[in-house]
A = this chain, B = another copy of it.
Amino acid sequence: MKKLELTAREIAEITGGEIKGDPERIITSVAGVHDATAEQLSFVGHKRYEKQLETTKAGIVLVCGDLANAPCDTRTLIVCGNVDLAFSIVLERFAEEPPKWNVGVHPSAVVSPEAKLGAGVSINANAVIEAGAVIGDGTVIGAGCYIGHDVKIGAKCLLYPNVTVMYRCVIGNLAVIHPGVVVGGDGFGFIPGERGLVKVPQTGIVVIGDDVEIGANTTIDRARFGCTRIGDNVKIDNQVMIAHNVEIGASSILVAQCGIAGSARLGRGVILAAKAGVNGHITLGDGVKVAGTSGVVKSVPAGQIAMGTPAETQREYMQRYTLPSRFDKLAAKVKALTAELEALKAASEK
């Protein structure tokens, strides 16, 4: 981190927060609640982490409104409307800059004379750019990247090292793509033939909108025909698998290790939590949320939450989840009934 001193007063100013306690308290860096020392700032963004606020040694703590009345004698609190955002603002003051990428083509890169490079691009060591590829202004192609024939990449993109983009795929502006990502591998399609499984040609491409981020080692397959389509502002974590002809609506969030089978359609603002799976040929409406590890096997209307495998509504899921305790109660009731019946029988036989 950068060497820097900030007072609670200064931090309240840049974050728009309200000070509780000593406004002259000074911190020299930031840290998590568990690790922070008296010279550091930390944050507690939710009432459920109240205990962490009691035990942290941080000198200044950014807190949410629910925690505004916590003790502020041994430390200074700054109450913020959006703790996450406020912490990011402070963090950026201390954070070192990421490395700069040199403008120009590194001599070890292999760039086809038939590729078209925009102004101010940075093509790094051992990158390979095939004929017909078009790279937009200011875009960085990391070391060891492979950009296939006729690929189109927009402006101001950052492709980290060792990314692979196969032929004819299209990427919009402002993309951030992490190492090991593969865009445009073949979709998975085979049909039984006389001598075994026969490949179904995958003749389409992948089209990625603007302002998309793709995490390390994620794979997005080319369409059987037409496009696999990733909307604008979609954010994809690591090791996500997106099959052929899938469509993802704008501003959707796909958390790590989730997978979407062929021709599934996700609306805008859909959230798939980690390890969720979505069957092929189904539709998830706008704003659908899928819980982690869930397997969605049928379409889900807009705005709903899907949980479990096969995924159900939250209500159905809770009924299934609480079954053991409900069963125990029913079993006790049956036991009592049995005893009563025995007593009645005994009485009637007298």
Contact = CB atoms under 8 A, between A and B. Distances in A.
A225 B216 CA distance: 19
A232 interface: yes
Nearest to A342: B340
B324 A327 contact: no
A293 interface: yes
Q: Is the interface of A mostly helix, strand, loop or mixed?
A: loop
Contact of A185 (B30, B128, B215): B215
B178 A186 contact: yes
Contacts of A243: 256
A43 to B, nearest CB: 10
B196 A219 contact: no
Stoichiometry, copies per complex: 3
Contact of A146 (B179, B185, B199, B237): B179
A99 B319 CA distance: 54
B341 A341 contact: yes
A18 interface: no
A108 interface: yes
A139 interface: no
A148 B239 CA distance: 21
Nearest to A277: B275
Contacts of A191: 82, 84-85, 88
A135 to B, nearest CB: 16
A88 B340 contact: no
B162 A146 contact: yes
Interface string A177-217: 01110100110101100011101110100000001010111
5 contacts: A91-B224, A176-B186, A182-B238, A274-B277, A348-B348
